[in-house]
Amino acid sequence: MESRNDGREALVVGVSMTAFARHEDRAVEELGEEAARAALADAGIDAADVEVAFCGHVFQGITAGQRALSRAGIAGAPVINVENACASGSTAFHQAVAAVRGGSAKIALALGLEKMGRGAIPADPGDVRLSARAGVPLMPGMFAEVFRAHSRRYGTTLEQIAMVSVKNRSHAVANPRAHFRAPITVEDVLRARPVADPLTVLMCCPTSSGAAAAVVVSADVARQRCKPIAVAASVLCSDRPGPGDDPLYMIVDINTRAAARAYQQAGIGPDDLDVIELHDCFAIAEVIHYENLGLCPRGEGGKFAAAGASRIGGKVAVSTSGGLLSKGHPLGATGVAQVVEVVEQLRGESGARQVANARVGLTHCQGFGGAAAVHVLTV
C-alpha cells in the first residue's frame, strides 16, 4: 500500500524519543507520555490540536495508545492502535502520513511504544514449542539459517557481519539514547556468547523498552513551523507466497518490493540517499538489506560492509543511531524511532554522529509474518 498524496503534502514538524533501555521501573504509559509530550513541544503544537493519533505496539494490551496519550493531554481525538509485528511503529507513521495526505486531518501524531521483558520474544505459543524442539530461540534460529544460506550462495563471512555490529556500535557511542554505547571489536563479536550457531549475542539486537513519537502535519500548518521535513514516500507491503525451501525469500522479496515502490513514489534512487535507518534486527539482516535497498549488487552486502561503505563518512551512512543492534529494539517503538533519527539528521541536529549535508533519508522496517514499511524523508 502506498500513501498517495492527492496533491497534499505531509511534513514532519516534531519528533522525540525516550532513551532505549531496560526501564524496569517505568510503566509503558509513562514512556509513551514522555515521547508524545516532547514531540508536541518540538513541533510547537498543543495536544488539544491533534486531530488523530496512531499508536504502534505489539505486546502492550488493549488501548495502550489511549492510556499513554491521555496522560499527554490528547483526549477526545480518535486514537487507533496498530499492530504489525516489528513494523508496528512504521505502520502507525504510515497511517499518520495517509491521514494528512488524504485530507482527513491536518495534524496527526504517530506514537510507538513497547515495554519488553528479557530474552527472545515468541510471536505466539506455538513458537515456544518450535523453539523448544529446535533448541534455540525462534528468530535467532531463523536468521542463523539466513546467514548460512547467504554464505553458501554468495560467500558472506562471519567476519563481514561482525563488522556491521562493530560499525553500528561505533555510531551508538555518540548517541546518548542508545541502549548499548561501549565500543566493541570484531573479535569481541566473534567470541561473544553463542545464541544460535553461528550467531553470537553481539550479532543480535537486544530486547529494549522505550517510546518514540512524530508529529505529521499538512503544508499550511508546516509553514508556521521551523525545519519541516517532507515525507516524499510512504509505502507498506505485505508478504506473498514464495518458495518454502529458500530462507532468503522472506527477507528479500517483500523488502525489495517496498523499496522499489518508495523510490518510485519519491522520484529518487538509492544513490540519492544520504542517511538510512534500516531493520538490522540481526547483523546479517543489515547486510542483506544493503542489497534489498539497492545500495550494492545482490550478494555483495558483506563486501559493502567490510569496505566501510555504510559508515558515517562512507558511501551512505546506515544505522547512524546505532541501529537495532545497539540503539535497541522495543518492537512497537522502533519504526517511529527510525523517523526520529532521520528527521534529526536532516535538520542537522545529530551532534557527533551528524552526516554532513544530509538532505535525503530513508527508514525501513520489517515485521516478520509479514509487513515491510519504507519511508523517504527530504529537506
* Neighbour-count burial for 59-91, b at 16+ CB within 10 Å, e otherwise: ebeeebbbbbbbbbebeebebebbbbbbbbbbb
Average pLDDT value over all residues in the chain: 94
Confidence of residue 133 (pLDDT cuts 50, 70, 90): very low
CA 14-17-19 angle, 5° bins = 155
**Domain for residue 124, yes or no?**
no
CATH of the domain at 281: 3.40.47.10
Report whether pLDDT(375) > 80.
yes
Report whether pLDDT(202) > 80.
yes
For the stretch 282-303, pLDDT in tens is 999 999 999 999 999 999 999 9
The whole-number pLDDT of residue 125 equals 43
**Domain for residue 92, yes or no?**
yes
**Domain for residue 330, yes or no?**
yes
pLDDT > 90 in the chain, percent:
88
**Domain for residue 130, yes or no?**
no
Contacting residues for 241 by C-beta, under 8 A, at least 6 apart: none
Mean pLDDT over residues 168-173, rounded?
99
The whole-number pLDDT of residue 122 equals 52
Containing structural domain, residue 316: 11-117+206-372
The whole-number pLDDT of residue 241 equals 84
For the stretch 63-102, pLDDT in tens is 999 999 999 999 999 999 999 999 999 999 999 999 999 9
**List 23, 55, 57, 86, catalytic entry:** 86
The whole-number pLDDT of residue 368 equals 85
Higher-pLDDT residue of 245 and 351 is 351
Strand partners, 209: 21
**List 329, 364, 365, 375, catalytic entry:** 329
- Alpha-carbon gap, residue 216 to 210, rounded angstroms: 20
The whole-number pLDDT of residue 120 equals 55
The whole-number pLDDT of residue 131 equals 41
pTM of the model: 0.94
CA 166-172-173 angle, 5° bins = 90
Q: Tell me whether residue 329 is one of the annotated catalytic residues.
A: yes
Mean pLDDT over residues 130-141, rounded?
60
pLDDT > 70 in the chain, percent:
93
**Domain for residue 193, yes or no?**
no
The whole-number pLDDT of residue 129 equals 40
Mean pLDDT over residues 22-29, rounded?
96
Report whether pLDDT(6) > 70.
no
- Alpha-carbon gap, residue 322 to 81, rounded angstroms: 27
Mean pLDDT over residues 138-165, rounded?
97
**Domain for residue 377, yes or no?**
no
The whole-number pLDDT of residue 325 equals 99
Measuring CA to CA, how many Å separate 41 from each of 16, 36, 37, 68, 213? 9, 9, 6, 16, 11
The whole-number pLDDT of residue 189 equals 99
Q: How many CA atoms lie within 13 A of 101 on its CB side?
A: 22
**Least confident range of 2-16, 30-44, 74-88:** 2-16
**Domain for residue 23, yes or no?**
yes
Please give the tally of structural domains in the chain.
1
Nearest Cα residue to 286 out of 325, 234, 339: 325
The whole-number pLDDT of residue 243 equals 81
**Domain for residue 57, yes or no?**
yes
CA 69-328-295 angle, 5° bins = 110
Confidence of residue 128 (pLDDT cuts 50, 70, 90): very low
For the stretch 345-369, pLDDT in tens is 999 999 999 999 999 999 999 998 7
